[in-house]
Amino acid sequence: MFKTFSATPTDIRQDWYVVDAEGMVLGRLATEIARIIRGKHKPTFTPHMDTGDGVIVINASKVRVTGRKAEQKEYFRHTGYMGHERFTPFASMLAKHPERVIEKAVFGMLPKTALGRQVLRGKLRVYPGAEHPHTAQTPKTLTFPKAEAK
C-alpha cells in the first residue's frame, strides 16, 4: 500500500513567477494565478498547508474581459448601513485601481478560509504597469496561452 503524501514545512519550496497580464482574459488569468499561489501545480500539494508559489502580475491595467462584461460587470461593496450598498463599474475600477480587478478575481477563486486569505496576502503582487520592485526574488517568467476573442 502507498501512504498518502502530506507536506511538512521542510518539504515546501517556494518560487516566484512574473505574469504579464497584457491582453489576457481576466477570468482565465485569475484561475491560473489562483492555482499557482495555492500550490495545486505541484506534486507536493497539501490542502491544509501553504505550498504555493508567489506571483507578480505586471500590466494589470491592460487586462481584458470577454463579451459585454466591460459595460455590465460591477463590483459590490457595502458601507455597513442599511440600504447603502455601492456598485462600482468594471471600467472605472480598471481605470482607477487596475490591481484590485485582478486581486478580486483571484480572491473569488480561493477558498474562503484563513489559509486562503493568508495565501492571497502573502503570495500575490499586482502592478498596473510593467515595472515591479521584486528583482531580488529572481522571478521566472510564466506565459499562458492567450484566448482568442470570438
At 148 the pLDDT is 63
How would you list the strands of the sheet with 16-20, edge to edge?
124-126, 54-58, 16-20, 140-142
The mean predicted confidence, pLDDT, of the chain is: 93
Quick one: which of 30, 41, 45, 58 has its CA closest to 120? 30
Whether residue 23 lies inside any domain: the answer is: yes
Kindly report the CATH number assigned to the domain that includes residue 126: 3.90.1180.10
Distance, CA of 92 to CA of 8 (rounded, Å): 44
**Residue 15 pLDDT greater than 90, yes or no:** yes
Domain containing 23 equals 16-66+98-142
In a domain, 129, yes or no: yes
Answer whether residue 8 is part of any domain: no
Instruction: Give residue 5's pLDDT.
Output: 86
| Residue 137 within any structural domain of the chain | yes
pLDDT, tens digit (0-9, with 9 covering 90-100), for 29-77: 999 999 999 999 999 999 999 999 999 999 999 999 999 999 999 999 9
Cell 485582478 belongs to 102
* pLDDT beyond 80 at 146: no
- Grade residue 145 by pLDDT with cuts at 50, 70 and 90: confident
pLDDT of res. 91:
96
Q: How many separate domains does the chain show? A: 1
Label residue 149 by pLDDT band (50, 70, 90).
low
